[in-house]
Amino acid sequence: MLIGVLALQGDFDAHRRRLEELGAEVVLVRNPSDFDGLDGLVIPGGESSAFLKLLGEDTFQKLNEFVHSKPTFGTCAGAIMLAREVENPRQAGLNAIDISIRRNAYGRQIDSTIVEAASALGSEPLEMVFIRAPRIESVGKDVEVLARRGDDPVLVRQGSVMAATFHPELSRDQRVHQEFLKLVRNGAR
């Protein structure tokens, strides 16, 4: 399985390591041609506004096509990129998953936190690392919620797109990436 990790900025290397631990082959994606042949893509955390600035027009177009046709997983800033609607401030979303999302909604950097909660990924609680996290404010009817922080959805899936507002690549728990690789294998959609 060949998985791309968008590597313009942010937390891409931890995703690379986790995916490799789980047996995937990983390509760091920086240019339009890097999308060729990928079975799936991870958009990491970082700063979504910086991603939008750093993506040239051609790479943006390839990214846009990819997320609407192949399995994609966005974490934190990556989830913001995939959303239908982005607030605080308003910014373009790729509209690959029917969620509206609010940037930096849980407070400032010092308020970053680790939460353990139940999830759909098994009986063990899931460790979730939040760093200047966005909040998913609404989900469309076709969106499955796989985990919540309090009442807020924090891990969601629609068709072959997954989004997490936390950083699963920073936990020991491999289940979230495993779930994404399952999606890639089953070629949902």
Residues noted as catalytic:
76, 167, 169
- Cβ atoms of 89 and 179 closer than 8 Å: no
For ligand GLN, the closer of residues 19 and 77 by Cβ is 77
Structure tokens at 102: 């609010």
Interacting residue with ligand GLN among 24, 76, 101, 164 (CB under 6 A):
76
Residue 163: partners with Cβ closer than 8 Å, 6 or more residues away: 73, 74, 75, 78, 79, 82, 83, 97, 99, 136, 155, 156, 157
Q: Which is nearer to ligand GLN, 76 or 184 (CB)?
A: 76
Member of 6, 7, 27, 77 binding ligand GLN (CB under 6 A): 77
User: Residue 185's CB: how many other CB atoms inside 10 A?
Assistant: 12
Q: How far is the CB of 19 from ligand GLN (least distance, A)?
A: 18
- Taking CB under 6 A as the binding criterion, the range among 27-35, 75-83, 149-157, 179-187 that sits at the site for ligand GLN is 75-83
Candidates 19-27, 46-54, 55-63, 93-101; binding stretch for ligand GLN (CB under 6 A): 46-54
Provide the edge-to-edge strand list for the sheet that holds 152-158.
25-29, 2-6, 40-43, 72-75, 161-164, 152-158, 144-149, 113-119, 122-130
CA distance 46 to 48: 6
Nearest CB to ligand GLN, comparing residues 1 and 95: 95
Closest distance of CB 117 from ligand GLN, Å: 18
The answer to whether the CB of 183 falls within 8 A of the CB of 71 is: yes
Give 16 or 132: the residue with its C-beta nearer to ligand GLN.
132
- The SS3 call for residue 63 is helix
Written as six digits, the tokens of 123 are 């009986």
Site string for ligand GLN, 137-176 (x = CB under 6 A): ----------------------------------------
Which chain residues interact with ligand GLN by CB under 6 A? 45-48, 76-77, 80, 103-104, 131-132, 134
